[in-house]
Structure 1
Amino acid sequence: MKTRSGIFFLLLFSFFSKSQETVKKDSLKKDNQKDSLTSISEVVIQSSRRIKLNDGNIVMNVSGNKDFKTSMNMLDVLRKSPGVTVDQEDGIFLGGRVSPAIFINGKPVVMSSQELQSYLRSLSPEMVESVEINSNPSSKYDAEFKGIIDIKLKKNTNLGWRGSYIGNVYANKFSYRENSLNLSYNTEKLVYNLQFGYNYGISTYRYNALQRLANTNVMRTKNYQEDDAEIYNIQVGIDYRLNNKNRFGVNVRGSFRDNYRTRLGSLYTTNDDETQLIFNTESNNPTHYAQNNYGITTDYSFQNKNFKLSFLGNYLSVENKQKDDFINKDRPTSELLSYWKSDLLNKINIYTGQIDVSQKIGNSTLEAGVKFSDTSTDNNIKYDTLSVSNQFIFDPNRSNIFSYKEKIFAGYLAYSKKFNKLQINAGLRFENTKSISNAITTDSIVSRNYLEWLPSLSTNYVFNKSNELFISYSRKITRPVFSQLNPFRFYFSPLNYWIGNPYLQPSFTSQIKTTYRFKNWVTSFTVGREKDVMTRYPLYNPQTNVLEYLGTNLPYRNFAVLETSFPVKITKWWNVNSQLSGYYNYEFRPYLDEVFALKIYNYEIRLNQVFSLSKGYTINVFANYESKGGNSLYIIKPRYTIDLSIQKLWFDNKLNTKIGYNNIFNSYDQRVEFRHKRIMDNQFTHWWDTRKLLFSLSYNFGSSKYQAKEIQRTEEENRTR
């Protein structure tokens, strides 16, 4: 693998060296100047302000930024952004551990995780003005928001209509296609907005495991999965400008997902020296999954001089339906060993309303707000098992009816004041949570009512245009997501499943973050402690060989994150943006009557190289390396990925085409090993089809470039995943 990587970079460097000569000739011919190309020895830190800080948060320009010119969409932009990680399933994380809220123009968006990913793919970098990365939000934000990524869209208030089409194609063993059409019409007082999306295609996933069982047998597990999905999204909105002081908006949304999944698996077990076959079984798990979402958002704002008032209301309805078949056979004889079916119905309803006010007085700003949310979820999963009489009968051991209701009343008060080069911000938030979970099948009711005070404090000092320092403190609460509370079985294979825990407690995180910027070189250090950490742990049954994953709260964990990023200009046509991250994690983990407490260190290196060639071509090479990591129970093996992409504009910059090849060496699978062999000797690998050829095409048309407001998302909707 290393040899192939070396040959690749050697050929790539040779190609760009030739491209340099082309750039040089074109420059001489066009400008009639002497050779002005900078030699590689003249490496300098760029001084242009492509990166700045806003209250200690990194803010990067996106449109027109060379680092993101070849990026297919906003997910690709975030993968290359400092402090942000996008995993194989397009999950977004800050500091390697925090799942952030996504804001659009200062407001959180109201979408499920799948819808959000589709929406971010529909945003090309040219549509985005900037991205702000906030890894330590203040008390004015919901306590669930331990991190925020705020995407500011480009704005233009020209009258008339505007349209854009964006199409993406991903090709691996199968192909996946995304289509997005956006239309807007802007008058002096009204803005009409229509967005339609249609995505379809097949993605694949593989899971392999090797486990040495308690009886010294060796069991190999293999799973292969194909997901055939079809997704429709539509949203219609009106933004009404009553006058210069008052604005009102309504947005209605619908999302419809239909998914057929085929999962084929096998369990191959031999004796300890693998000379004698014990059993060889195969499983077939076809699934039909459907999700229907409906949402309504209303917002109102009033602004008069230094006073501002805003209201935001949301309603979200989610209905999930899933039917599974679990068919297990003896592979050599095709004898049916077991057969059961499941039928799941899940309904979620969320109502939220919040009011925020702010008043600026000289160099001071006073802010306050209140919010109320009401959430209910109902789950009914029914299992039927094939009996010896060849009929399906109800299985009460697996079936489950579960309901969860939660009401949160919150408020905050924030104050900020600027003293010349120094600015101080302080805030205090309260959140009162009332919840009741009811596992009807097991007759278990858990009721809670608790009030928490969550302070924040920060200070920012600007030495000069090139130097500034920011220090902040915050305390956050993380409530368990609904799936973590639901005590039903979710099967990965016939002998492997996880179960929710209705007795999970919320966790609390206190952290301090320091950020220093020198020109475009930004370094941050975060240290903190999380109490009542929510996690899953494995429980192996040596008699049945069943491996369960159960939810629990750990007493605490300490963590620290050190991140630095800096751009380097090597030549006029070659720019490199480097990112280095180091992580420390110490878990205090009771497990099976023992306590495991290990100090885990790991790091990540990212290099984003941009080559600006003649005739308007831009080539990007992105490389990412992750060292060995894990936690007190598991070791995560090191891995790396290399992506290549090319971009070109056509037809007076209206047509933008991009071609990419991600994970060139198919090297980004996740390999995990259980640390403590005397308890369980288990190792497994997750593989996603991230080695893909990508093609992106976007076309803009119409007379206006007005960008309509996007709909909002609340913390409760984050927790429907």
Structure 2
Amino acid sequence: MMVRLWIFILLLFLSIFAKSQETDSLQQKDSIKTISEIVLQSSAKNLRLKEGNLVMNVANNKDFKTSANILEVLRRTPGVTVDQEDGIFIGGRISPAIFINGKQILMSSQELQAYLRSLSPEMVESVEVNSNPSSKFDAEFKGIIDIRLKKNSILGWRGSYTGNISVNRFNYRENTLNLSYNTSKIAYQIQLGFNDGISTYRYNALQYLANTNVMRTKTDQKDAGKVYNLQAGIDYRLNEKNRFGFSLRGNFRENNRVRLGSLHTVNKDQTQLVFNTQSENPTDYNQDNYGITADYSFQHENFKLNVLGNYLSVENKQKDDFINKDVTSSKLLSYWKSDLVNAIHIYAGQIDASQKIGNANFDAGIKFSSSNTGNHIRYDTLSVNNQFVFDPGRSNVFDYKEKIFAGYIAYSQKINRFQINAGLRFENTESISNAVTVDSVVSRNYLKWLPSFSISYTMNKSNEFSVSYSRKITRPVFSQLNPFRFYFSPLNYWIGNPYLQPSFTNQIKATYRYKNWITSFTIGKETDVMVRYPMYNPQTNVLEYLGTNLPYRKFAALETSFPVKISEWWNITSQLTGYYNDEYRPYLDEVFALKIYNYEVRLTQVFSLPFGITANLYTNYESWTGNSLYIIKPRYTVDFSLQKGWLDNTLNTKISYNNIFDSYDQQLEFRHKQIMDNRFTHWWDSRRLLLSVNYNFGNSKYQAKEIRKSEEENRTR
């Protein structure tokens, strides 16, 4: 199947190339009579550049009519990757901030995914992908995805319901109800959500141990969860100059996870059993999340002022049992329990001002944030007399406090066909990490200056070019700092490192657009790169994953995206991306510095069928890749989906079959067999049938302003 797919892609590109050589007049044709007349043309401007950033129209874009939600739209957006766990990345490995209508919306990863799945493509005007943000934005932001919702100001009320059902080995259901009411002065909005269902995951590993034995690790995980969500807000328009907004949100999550694992070990020639153990790890997890946001804006002539305040409270509770038995004799080998309480409190406030003088804009702003995180985990181990006793070797108390004071100045001006932007940002960070259990306190106080610059040139309506530069900082998140064990299996866990340093990235990006054909090239260098690395103990066969800073890595990416119209009913969008990564990695008294090249190809085919039905065939292929320690094998996925609107498109129904061939698992292999011979596979149950329905009702199409949240919420994960 994969060979036939690539033969088809090759023939398609050859036909496009051959046809483009016949005559330049093909680009002026207004209609296509037969499939043999394939042309490159931009009949609808669904892609454009904004200060060098890709902006893509979503509503009324045929490429996304069959997408059930905005997460599926992002999966098919040039330069954006959505992995099996719905994590979002740009530029290969950058986790971007998510903005709504120009303002950040930051939640936990699970809460954010649920929110994005509640947005149908019909609700979204456009998506902007900013892979090189300026100094106006927080220095943590190596990338930003700004989702612009459709807006209207008609008085009255409006509602919508979105429901999704995912069918695979188990079912997962998502329900969202949005209600809004708009008067001449006040806009009210409320969102109610309820999700529940089961997801599954598998981990398989094969390791040749130092004593020549062969060990196979298997883990099967089933996660049953329920999520309740409530958001409510008002937007008060005092007059034409003044606006005030206030919002509350709550998100409540319950998860019951069952993880079953086994360690099966045989001798070198695999003829004799050495040991065979089975583990059970049931988990009860709860999260209560509360947020309050208040914002005020003032605008008079060419002056703008915005004030934003946030408070976030998150409490996590988790209880685990770790039970290990010998399969042959059913003998209990070990049993320990854990009880985790994690509390996070974040306060943040910022002020932004803008003044326009002639055709130049001057911006300035300040921001202060304070976050306190307390993590207490207690382990109790079953003793020889069948009583649980406190285990100080695994138990942990860790507190982390961080304060950031930041400010920026920025300038932008349009001179003839040139657009110039420049900015300078400072961020002063004070942090204290206190590992109470091991009596270790790490304090830091540092000030960093972070410049940015960009210039764009518009030759005509069809041609644009831009170049940008920025310097960014990435601070370690709480889980990277916390020095206690997170178990995957009895012999496999990772540990945080409270001594991690922040990393810094200098990056240059160039972008060129010809009609709907967009090409970009990014090059940069990151210092003090934060990574995890494996540490294998040949005596105990324990495999730890520890955190450290690498001296540097150099990277580059070349991306191109272009549409092809084959006929009036058949359109194709192609995306090609090539990556380069060169990291300098000291490891076990050696230095590994490999240069890794890899590429990714995506093909989106849209078919306009009779009776108002739209079909979409999406294919994605990722080549061999990895880093200095691991090889990651190729993988591919194929999705097919159908869409139809009813009742003047107030009712929209969609059906999708994703990852049809169950071919998107991730397979890794350790490169250096003299150190460790280990290979493993991560598998997510992503082959699924997805049914989606969206219904709009009411007498208004007013879209209230979205809830705003602070940057620090993203770093609580």
Q: TM-score, normalised by structure 2?
A: 0.96
Say whether the 8 Å CA contact 2:289–2:313 is kept in structure 1: yes
Shift of 1:710: 1.1
Cross-structure match for 2:461: 465
Shift of 1:423: 1.4
C-alpha distance 4-261 of structure 1, shift in aligned 2 (>3 A): farther
Cross-structure match for 2:158: 162
Q: Deviations over 1:463-518 (max 9, x none)?
A: 11111110000000000000100001000000000000000000000000000001
In 2: Cα distance, 1:449 partner to 1:459 partner: 34
Q: Given residue 309 of structure 2, which amino acid in structure 1 is its aligned partner?
A: G
Q: Deviations over 1:146-190 (max 9, x none)?
A: 000000000010000000000000010100000000000000000
Cross-structure match for 2:15: none
Q: Given residue 410 of structure 1, which amino acid in structure 2 is its aligned partner?
A: A
Matched, 1:708 2:708: no
In 1: Cα distance, 2:527 partner to 2:222 partner: 39
1:559 to 539, 555, 560: 555
Say whether the 8 Å CA contact 2:38–2:564 is kept in structure 1: no
Say whether the 8 Å CA contact 1:47–1:519 is kept in structure 2: no
Shift of 1:715: 2.2
Within 5 Å, give how 1:587-606 maps onto structure 2: 587-606=583-602
Q: Deviations over 1:505-561 (max 9, x none)?
A: 000000000000011100000000000000000000011100000000000000001
Say whether the 8 Å CA contact 1:645–1:660 is kept in structure 2: yes
Within 5 Å, give how 1:469-618 maps onto structure 2: 469-618=465-614
In 1: Cα distance, 2:175 partner to 2:120 partner: 12
Q: Given residue 427 of structure 2, which amino acid in structure 1 is its aligned partner?
A: E
Shift of 1:614: 1.1
Shift of 1:417: 1.5
Q: Deviations over 1:278-310 (max 9, x none)?
A: 000000000001000000000100001110000
In 1: Cα distance, 2:534 partner to 2:380 partner: 26
Matched, 1:330 2:326: yes
Within 5 Å, give how 1:260-409 maps onto structure 2: 260-409=256-405
In 1: Cα distance, 2:406 partner to 2:499 partner: 23
Cross-structure match for 1:430: 426
Shift of 1:6: 9.0
Shift of 1:712: 1.7
Cross-structure match for 2:35: 39
In 2: Cα distance, 1:521 partner to 1:38 partner: 23
Cross-structure match for 1:77: 73
Runs of at least 5 residues in structure 2 that lack an aligned partner in the other structure: 13-30
C-alpha distance 247-215 of structure 1, shift in aligned 2 (>3 A): same
2:180 to 177, 184, 192: 184
Please state whether the residue corresponding to 2:115 is helix, strand or coil. Answer: helix
Q: Deviations over 1:576-622 (max 9, x none)?
A: 01000000000100000100000000000000100001110000000
Q: TM-score, normalised by structure 1?
A: 0.96
Cross-structure match for 2:645: 649
Percent identity over paired residues? 74
Please state whether the residue corresponding to 1:265 is helix, strand or coil. Answer: strand
1:239 to 235, 241, 247: 235
Within 5 Å, give how 1:675-694 maps onto structure 2: 675-694=671-690
In 1: Cα distance, 2:607 partner to 2:644 partner: 13
Shift of 1:40: 3.0
Cross-structure match for 1:143: 139
Matched, 1:229 2:236: no
Please state whether the residue corresponding to 1:502 is helix, strand or coil. Answer: coil
Shift of 1:707: 0.6
C-alpha distance 399-685 of structure 1, shift in aligned 2 (>3 A): same
In 1: Cα distance, 2:445 partner to 2:584 partner: 27
* Structure 1 vs Structure 2 CA RMSD: 1.3
Shift of 1:360: 0.6
In 2: Cα distance, 1:457 partner to 1:43 partner: 37
Q: Hey, which bits of structure 1, 4+ residues long, moved more than 2 A? A: 1-7, 35-48
Please state whether the residue corresponding to 1:718 is helix, strand or coil. Answer: helix
Cross-structure match for 1:632: 628
In 2: Cα distance, 1:269 partner to 1:446 partner: 41
In 1: Cα distance, 2:2 partner to 2:535 partner: 38
In 1: Cα distance, 2:484 partner to 2:231 partner: 34
1:620 to 609, 616, 633: 616
Matched, 1:124 2:120: yes
Say whether the 8 Å CA contact 1:45–1:566 is kept in structure 2: no
Say whether the 8 Å CA contact 1:110–1:711 is kept in structure 2: no
Say whether the 8 Å CA contact 1:359–1:366 is kept in structure 2: yes
Matched, 1:65 2:42: no
Say whether the 8 Å CA contact 1:70–1:647 is kept in structure 2: yes
Matched, 1:193 2:189: yes
In 2: Cα distance, 1:520 partner to 1:226 partner: 44
In 1: Cα distance, 2:34 partner to 2:348 partner: 57
Q: Deviations over 1:439-471 (max 9, x none)?
A: 000000000000000000110000111111100
Please state whether the residue corresponding to 1:615 is helix, strand or coil. Answer: helix
Q: Deviations over 1:390-410 (max 9, x none)?
A: 000000000000000000000
Please state whether the residue corresponding to 1:120 is helix, strand or coil. Answer: helix
Q: Given residue 256 of structure 1, which amino acid in structure 2 is its aligned partner?
A: F
In 1: Cα distance, 2:499 partner to 2:6 partner: 52
Shift of 1:42: 3.0
Cross-structure match for 2:25: none
Shift of 1:36: 6.8
Cross-structure match for 2:202: 206
Q: Given residue 623 of structure 2, which amino acid in structure 1 is its aligned partner?
A: S
Cross-structure match for 1:92: 88
Say whether the 8 Å CA contact 2:32–2:566 is kept in structure 1: no
Matched, 1:106 2:102: yes
1:248 to 229, 244, 250: 244
Say whether the 8 Å CA contact 1:507–1:533 is kept in structure 2: yes
In 1: Cα distance, 2:32 partner to 2:676 partner: 64
Say whether the 8 Å CA contact 2:554–2:581 is kept in structure 1: yes
Say whether the 8 Å CA contact 2:106–2:711 is kept in structure 1: no
In 1: Cα distance, 2:606 partner to 2:309 partner: 43
In 1: Cα distance, 2:508 partner to 2:381 partner: 53
In 1: Cα distance, 2:638 partner to 2:282 partner: 34
In 1: Cα distance, 2:2 partner to 2:132 partner: 39
C-alpha distance 291-297 of structure 1, shift in aligned 2 (>3 A): same
1:52 to 43, 48, 53: 48
Q: Given residue 640 of structure 1, which amino acid in structure 2 is its aligned partner?
A: Y
Q: Given residue 260 of structure 1, which amino acid in structure 2 is its aligned partner?
A: N
Shift of 1:716: 1.0
**Total equivalences in the alignment:** 697
Shift of 1:714: 2.5
Cross-structure match for 2:24: none
Q: Given residue 358 of structure 2, which amino acid in structure 1 is its aligned partner?
A: G
Matched, 1:415 2:415: no
In 1: Cα distance, 2:32 partner to 2:404 partner: 63
